[in-house]
């Protein structure tokens, strides 16, 4: 008997159709063993080429080290925080996930909450069960002709918007990382954050939770919302300041809210639990039979495709270049990632084009892994889905970013140079970097300003009037905040009344201190970056 070519272990419960799909493939053998602890799984994993998990089983470095045959780890769902991706990457093991398989289900839940808020369905149901018959108490609101604001215009936000358009609603969309053309093409109106809050009858959140979006909807933003508006959050707990939301509802400024996610789950001490104007659900975003089936079948299909063809469109860590090229490109990839993150931070408008230029010795390299890392740096803090060198180009295209690569053996002053040029509707921003000793990254230019800065750690970047006293004022604020300065570079350009500063600092500045810097008369832009 010929032994199976590919052995798969299913370690968490998934849909039976997924198991059948794998088992029906020629050369595949599938085993199901759920509920194994780390020691048991470590002992067993050595016999398998692939493992599929949901969120319950943790694939640790210990388990990965025991996988002598292991080639691929599949996560039936979006998050891979239960998988040691770094350990898998070090071992050359591909990690797959299914970022969009439950998008429709989550969008539909947001729509269900929209309808529940409009017609007071949960409250009316409770009233009926209490033996009441009070139709006049639950007079609702018609959705047709109303405005709905969609904050975050990724896959889920766009599906939600299409369904709202079908209800004859006017869709306002805000996403600082999606171009207005992409939003218009979807039938929505691109607006600023402030305009969306002021105009929308309903506001629905569909953005990732990051340091920048934590408490995105806080007390100040809630007061900006249209009186009588309603808020929906089926995205991430922590996007909404729940205490401030409770106050906005109790004061009558907002007519209602619906939440499926919370800062702490379960939300046992949330003030929202006591309010009748709030609809609450226990994180049901992906909880439909169809979504559970979809993520299971998708991961089975992707794992089978990878093991038989090597294709992995949903991989989070798959290199696509020869080992030799990757080795030569590694320091340039690190440099490109830092430049991408830097240019993303200093470019506030949606980027329509990113040009990646390799000059001098860098032009000898395959540009793809370098461009991919530039895109990862550009996008990884802006999107909810994991961004990696495999999916970065696809995600950039979805955001409306055209990517160009240029190479030239000619360069001035430096043996090798990597340059990024980001184009927006308001202009072009460029950054350039090089390697010292072919391994130490340096940021050498921002637009027309020459500098020599180390792109690592906490960096404070400013554009300011070129006049005395600015650096001293910055230093005073940093000193008062007990923040040490590790290094500082100031750049000036001929014929300009503006200068820039890059200040390496020991820790992140508080929002209050950052706001104080912004208020300095000479400051035109200040950005805090972690590289």
Cis check: omega of the bond before 300, within 30 degrees of 0: no
Q: Where are the alpha helices (DSSP H) in 353-417?
A: 367-379, 392-398
- Contacts made by residues 37-40, CB under 8 angstroms, sequence distance 24+: 38/62, 38/63
Helix, strand, coil content of the chain in percent (nearest 5): 35, 25, 40
Q: What would the two tokens of residue 411 be?
A: 């360069």
For residues 336 and 362, give the distance between their C-alpha atoms in angstroms, rounded to a whole number. Answer: 11
For residues 21 and 18, give the distance between their C-alpha atoms in angstroms, rounded to a whole number. Answer: 5
Partners of 21 in the β-ladder: none
For residues 467 and 522, give the distance between their C-alpha atoms in angstroms, rounded to a whole number. Answer: 8
Cβ within 8 Å of residue 412, ≥6 positions away: none
CA atoms within 13 A on the CB side of 241: 13
For residues 319 and 391, give the distance between their C-alpha atoms in angstroms, rounded to a whole number. Answer: 11
CB neighbours (10 Å) of residue 425? Answer: 11
Q: Where are the alpha helices (DSSP H) in 435-489?
A: 470-480
Cα distances from 70 to residues 52, 65, 88, 273, in angstroms, run 11, 9, 9, 46
CB neighbours (10 Å) of residue 104? Answer: 18
Cβ within 8 Å of residue 20, ≥6 positions away: none
Sign of CA dihedral 245, 250, 254, 257: positive
- Beta strands per DSSP E along 193-337: 202-205, 229-233, 254-259, 278-280
Tell me phi and psi for residue 11, to 5 degrees.
Answer: -100, -10
For residues 276 and 279, give the distance between their C-alpha atoms in angstroms, rounded to a whole number. Answer: 8
The catalytic residue positions are 236, 265, 283
Tell me phi and psi for residue 166, to 5 degrees.
Answer: -65, -25
Q: What would the two tokens of residue 164 be?
A: 């709202």
Cα distances from 487 to residues 253, 331, 467, in angstroms, run 48, 22, 20
Sign of CA dihedral 186, 189, 190, 195: negative
């Amino acid at each position: 008997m010929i032994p199976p070519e590919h052995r798969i272990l299913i370690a968490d419960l998934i849909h039976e159709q997924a198991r059948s799909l794998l088992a029906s493939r020629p050369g595949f053998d599938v085993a199901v063993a759920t509920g194994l602890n780390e020691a048991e799984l470590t002992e067993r994993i050595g016999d398998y080429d692939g493992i599929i998990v949901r969120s319950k089983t943790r694939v640790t470095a210990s388990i990965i080290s025991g996988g002598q045959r292991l080639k691929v780890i599949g996560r039936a769902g979006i998050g891979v925080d239960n998988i040691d991706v770094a350990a898998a990457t070090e071992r050359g093991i591909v990690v797959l996930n299914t970022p969009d398989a439950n998008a429709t289900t989550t969008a539909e839940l947001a729509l269900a909450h929209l309808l529940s808020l409009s017609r007071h369905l949960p409250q009316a149901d409770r009233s009926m069960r209490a033996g009441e018959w009070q139709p006049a108490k639950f007079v609702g609101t018609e959705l047709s002709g109303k405005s709905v604001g969609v904050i975050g215009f990724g896959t889920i936000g766009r599906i939600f918007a299409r369904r709202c358009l079908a209800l004859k609603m006017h869709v306002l969309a805000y996403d600082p990382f999606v171009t207005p053309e992409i939003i218009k093409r979807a039938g929505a109106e691109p607006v600023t954050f402030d305009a969306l809050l002021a105009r929308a009858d309903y506001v629905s959140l569909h953005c990732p939770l990051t340091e920048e979006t934590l408490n995105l909807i806080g007390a100040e933003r809630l007061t900006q919302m249209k009186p009588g508006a309603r808020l929906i959050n089926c995205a991430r707990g922590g996007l909404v300041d729940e205490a401030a939301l409770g106050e906005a509802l109790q004061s009558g400024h907002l007519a209602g809210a619906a939440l499926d996610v919370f800062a702490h789950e379960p939300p046992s001490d949330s003030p929202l639990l006591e309010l009748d104007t709030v609809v609450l659900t226990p994180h049901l975003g992906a909880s439909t039979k169809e979504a559970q089936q979809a993520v299971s079948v998708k991961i089975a299909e992707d794992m089978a495709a990878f093991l038989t063809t090597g294709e992995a469109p949903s991989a989070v860590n798959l290199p696509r270049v020869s080992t030799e090229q990757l080795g030569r490109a590694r320091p340039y990839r690190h440099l490109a990632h830092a430049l991408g993150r830097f240019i993303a931070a200093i470019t506030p408008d949606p980027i329509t084009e990113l040009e990646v230029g390799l000059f001098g010795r860098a032009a000898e390299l395959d540009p793809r892994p370098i461009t991919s890392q530039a895109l990862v740096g550009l996008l990884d803090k802006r999107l909810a889905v994991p961004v990696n060198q495999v999916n970065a180009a696809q995600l950039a295209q979805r955001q409306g970013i055209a990517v160009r690569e240029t190479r030239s053996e000619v360069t001035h002053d430096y043996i090798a140079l990597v340059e990024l040029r980001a184009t927006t509707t308001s202009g072009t921003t460029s950054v350039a970097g090089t390697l010292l000793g072919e391994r130490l990254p340096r940021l050498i230019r921002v637009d027309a300003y020459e500098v020599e800065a180390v792109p690592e750690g906490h960096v404070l970047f400013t554009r300011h009037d070129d006049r005395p006293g600015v650096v001293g004022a910055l230093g005073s604020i940093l000193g008062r905040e007990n923040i040490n300065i590790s290094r500082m570079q100031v750049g000036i350009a001929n014929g300009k009344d503006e200068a820039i500063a890059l200040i390496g600092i020991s820790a992140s500045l508080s929002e209050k201190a950052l706001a104080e810097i912004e208020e300095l008369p000479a400051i035109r832009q200040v950005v805090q970056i972690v590289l």
